[in-house]
């Protein structure tokens, strides 16, 4: 009887009752969380395949189309440039309408523009279609992060977001394995058609399979305040991520062409090296995400990653100056693994600090900053390579994580850790029925 009275009192005190989805219960909720994560990984990987395809067309563009390295780098940057203009809008749409149709609709548009790119008759037209494809693919960048935060409680988010973030290196690995080979056999159209079909298949899977996070977490009373006011935490994480992404895209855009043009590797073995490095990088993201769960701090592990990135980029520059073929490939692999490790940590920090009402927009801003940097990497690093050579360009890329180190906040900001939202999400992910927990929600 006392439990009943307590429950009635709590309901009276709570002006915004929890809306529950009674179809989500127990073990089925846990299974659903992992299914959502799987579909999120697939969506992000398909988008990354699209965005990475032009980078692995650079050898083909140089040899068959006669483009300069700077021009080819600009074409490779077109999808990321397109993403810059739509990431925040996609994030706001996810905040307003939910994740399912944002992800599926964006990928459908991505597929359409990639298939239209096949009919482009000149470089400008091709760049425009690639830019529009990148703009559409940004939906998965903003919305899949919300899916992870919505379905997983904080003690599991580092691991879950690390798994989600492995989609980026997996997408790059797929591009490294398939694009050079298909370009050699089918010209420019082969890789474009492959990435377009992949995006369309994943779009259908997401439309059918994705469910927005449980309403019990989404509709409880949480702070409506703007998380960017009164704290510099989010701005500092955004700035750090912009700096740390420069080595990552330097390697993903120019790693293959460095192996082939400077170290004498054939295209297929070089593509295999890149793919292996990206696969190991995917595993590394899971490892650092799990480590942040164990240590209880995202920013501490982020600081370790930034320092390690300085070291490995200088090591890569050394192997380039010495023109060591096999050590160069090993150093490139190590640098790739380290340079991609920060993304999941930063994304989790941003989503946790922003809270459920702002996470879509905050992740959109996070991605926008990263892709502004990424868009500049192609032409800037391409020009640096032309002027100074690859080793000097790699050494200069080590400056960005060095500058990032003092900007990393001293401690995490997670105002929702003890909030009703977090308690309910943990109860859901842990197997408790939301309806049974209602008497505890205040």
74-92 confidence digits (pLDDT tens): 888 899 888 888 988 898 8
* Least confident interval from 12-21, 96-105, 142-151, 336-345: 12-21
- Give start and end residues of each alpha helix (H) in 296-358: 298-322, 325-339, 342-354
User: Does 384 have pLDDT greater than 70?
Assistant: yes
pLDDT digits (tens, 9 = 90+) for 170-186: 888 888 888 988 888 88
Residue 224: predicted pLDDT: 56
19 backbone φψ class: left, alpha, beta (φ>0; ψ -120 to 50): beta
Q: How many CB atoms lie within 10 A of CB 144?
A: 31
Task: For 217-230, write each residue's pLDDT tens digit.
Answer: 444 344 457 888 87
pLDDT in tens, 331-344: 999 999 999 888 88
State the average pLDDT for the chain.
Answer: 81
Residue 435's pLDDT band, with cuts at 50, 70 and 90, is very low
Largest CA distance in the chain: 81
- What the block records as the tokens of 172 is 């790059």
pLDDT of 417 strictly over 70: no
For the domain made up of 23-431, give the CATH fold.
Growth Hormone; Chain: A; (1.20.1250)
Give the integer Cα–Cα distance in Å for 138 and 371.
10
CB-based contact 102:203 (threshold 8 Å):
no
Domain ranges in the chain are: 23-431
Q: Is the dihedral of CA 250, 251, 252, 253 positive or negative?
A: positive
pLDDT score for 415: 53
User: Could you read off the pLDDT of 245-290 as tens digits, one per residue?
Assistant: 999 989 988 888 899 888 888 877 888 888 889 889 888 888 998 8
């Amino acid at each position: 009887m006392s439990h009943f009275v307590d429950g009635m009192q709590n309901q009276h005190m709570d002006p915004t009752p929890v809306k529950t989805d009674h179809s989500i219960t127990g073990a089925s909720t846990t299974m659903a969380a992992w299914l959502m994560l799987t579909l999120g990984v697939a969506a992000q990987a398909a988008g990354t395949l699209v965005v990475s395809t032009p980078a692995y067309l650079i050898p083909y563009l140089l040899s068959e189309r006669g483009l300069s390295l700077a021009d080819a780098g600009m074409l490779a940057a077109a999808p990321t440039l397109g993403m810059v203009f739509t990431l925040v809008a996609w994030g706001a749409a996810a905040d307003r309408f939910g994740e399912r149709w944002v992800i599926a609709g964006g990928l459908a548009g991505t597929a359409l523009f990639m298939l239209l790119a096949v009919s482009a008759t000149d470089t400008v037209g091709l760049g425009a279609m690639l830019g529009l494809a990148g703009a559409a693919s940004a939906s998965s960048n903003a919305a899949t992060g919300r899916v992870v935060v919505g379905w997983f409680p904080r003690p599991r988010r580092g691991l879950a977001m690390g798994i989600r973030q492995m989609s980026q290196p997996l997408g790059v690995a797929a591009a490294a394995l398939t694009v050079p080979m298909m370009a050699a056999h089918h010209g420019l159209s082969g890789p474009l058609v492959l990435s377009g079909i992949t995006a369309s298949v994943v779009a259908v899977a997401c439309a059918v399979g994705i469910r927005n996070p449980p309403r019990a977490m989404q509709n409880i009373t949480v702070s409506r305040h703007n998380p960017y006011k009164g704290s510099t935490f989010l701005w500092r994480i955004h700035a750090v991520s912009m700096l740390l992404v420069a080595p990552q895209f330097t390697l993903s855009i120019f790693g293959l062409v460095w192996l082939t043009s400077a170290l004498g590797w054939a295209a297929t073995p070089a593509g295999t090296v890149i793919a292996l490095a990206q696969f190991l990088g995917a595993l590394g993201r899971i490892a650092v995400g799990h480590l942040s769960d164990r240590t209880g701090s995202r920013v501490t592990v982020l600081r370790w990653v930034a320092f390690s990135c300085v070291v490995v980029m200088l090591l890569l520059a050394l192997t380039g100056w010495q023109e060591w073929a096999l050590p160069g490939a090993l150093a490139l692999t190590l640098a790739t693994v380290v340079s991609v490790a920060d993304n999941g940590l930063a994304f989790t920090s941003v989503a946790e600090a922003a809270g459920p009402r702002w996470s879509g927009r905050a992740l959109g801003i996070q991605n926008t900053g990263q892709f502004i940097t990424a868009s500049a990497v192609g032409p800037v690093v391409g020009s640096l390579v032309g002027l100074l050579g690859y080793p000097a360009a790699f050494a200069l890329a080590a400056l960005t994580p060095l500058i990032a180190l003092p900007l990393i906040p001293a401690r995490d900001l997670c105002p929702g850790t003890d909030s009703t939202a977090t308690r309910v999400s943990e109860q859901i992910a842990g197997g408790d029925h939301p309806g049974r927990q209602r008497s505890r929600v205040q």
